[in-house]
Amino acid sequence: AQSVTQPDIHITVSEGASLELRCNYSYGATPYLFWYVQSPGQGLQLLLKYFSGDTLVQGIKGFEAEFKRSQSSFNLRKPSVHWSDAAEYFCAVGAPRNDYKLSFGAGTTVTVRA
Amino acid sequence: EPEVTQTPSHQVTQMGQEVILRCVPISNHLYFYWYRQILGQKVEFLVSFYNNEISEKSEIFDDQFSVERPDGSNFTLKIRSTKLEDSAMYFCASTHPGSLNTGELFFGEGSRLTVL
Q: Note the pLDDT of residue A1.
A: 76
Nearest CA among A24, A19, A20 for reference residue A7: A24
pLDDT in tens, A47-96: 999 988 889 999 999 999 999 999 999 999 999 999 999 999 999 998 76
- Out of A44, A99, A107, the one facing B55 most closely (by C-beta) is A99
**CB spacing of A99 vs B48 below 8 angstroms:** yes
Helix (H), strand (E) counts: chain A: 0, 12
Residue B101 pLDDT more than 80?
no
Contact residues on chain B for A103, CB-CB shorter than 8 A: 45
Contact residues on chain A for B104, CB-CB shorter than 8 A: 32, 34, 46, 49, 94
Residue B102 pLDDT more than 90?
no
pLDDT in tens, B12-67: 999 999 999 999 999 888 889 999 999 888 899 999 998 899 999 999 999 999 99
Nearest-by-CA chain B residue for A32: B103
Contact residues on chain A for B56, CB-CB shorter than 8 A: 98-99, 101
Q: Distance (Å, rounded) from C-alpha B106 to C-alpha B90?
A: 14
Q: Note the pLDDT of residue A30.
A: 77
**CB spacing of B91 vs A106 below 8 angstroms:** no
pLDDT in tens, B62-91: 999 999 998 878 999 999 999 999 999 999
Contact residues on chain A for B35, CB-CB shorter than 8 A: 102, 104
**CB spacing of A44 vs B43 below 8 angstroms:** yes
Query: From start to end of chain B, where are the E strands?
Result: 5-7, 10-13, 19-24, 31-37, 43-50, 53-57, 65-68, 75-79, 88-95, 106-107, 111-115
Query: From the CA of A46, how many Å to the nearest CA of chain B?
Result: 8
- Out of A44, A101, A107, the one facing B91 most closely (by C-beta) is A44
- Out of A44, A100, A104, the one facing B95 most closely (by C-beta) is A100
Residue A43 touches partner B, C-beta closer than 8 Å: yes
Average pLDDT over residues A22-30: 88
Residue A83's SS3 state is helix
Residue B55 touches partner A, C-beta closer than 8 Å: yes
Host H or E run for residue A64: strand A64-68
- Out of A43, A96, A107, the one facing B91 most closely (by C-beta) is A43
